[in-house]
Amino acid sequence: MDRIKNHLNLLRVLMRMHLRSSDYRTFLGALWSLAGPLLTFGVFYFIFIDRFGRGITLFSLKLLTGVIVIQFFMAVIQITMNAMRQSRDVVVDSLTPSEVFLAAPLVVPLLKFIVEIGLCLVLAAFSG
């Protein structure tokens, strides 16, 4: 039990470190990170509205949700691969489970995903 408590404490410290080193430290940084999905949505919207969007109800909301989910999965894969590459030596020589080193950097994209999906839910509530 003490060992699990130590692993959770290490995970909490690493998550806090990754959150503090991200662009979410300031309001403008958080706002800027939300601009990426909006720009991607804008490009896709103007490309696909004529071909696919006319007959689909709430096309723009569905497209925005899809962009957010795809960008979340891309970020998770990229961050996990980088974490595996960067912490390979520590994981091999340590008794700490490798999941701690792989899960800690995922706090930033997970928080961003929760905020973005929350905004989509607010848009869905207003659009009916």
Contacts of 96 (CB under 8 A, 6+ apart): 7, 10
What would the DSSP string read from start to end of 12-24?
A: HHHHHHHHHTSGG
Separation CA 3–CA 7 (nearest Å):
6
User: Could you tell me if residue 96 is left (phi over 0), alpha (psi between -120 and 50 degrees) or otherwise beta?
Assistant: beta
pLDDT per position in the chain (128 positions), as tens?
677 777 777 777 777 776 677 666 677 877 777 888 889 999 998 988 888 777 788 888 999 999 999 999 999 999 888 888 887 777 777 777 777 777 778 888 888 899 899 999 999 999 87
Among 66, 85, 89, 88, residue whose Cα is nearest residue 77 = 85
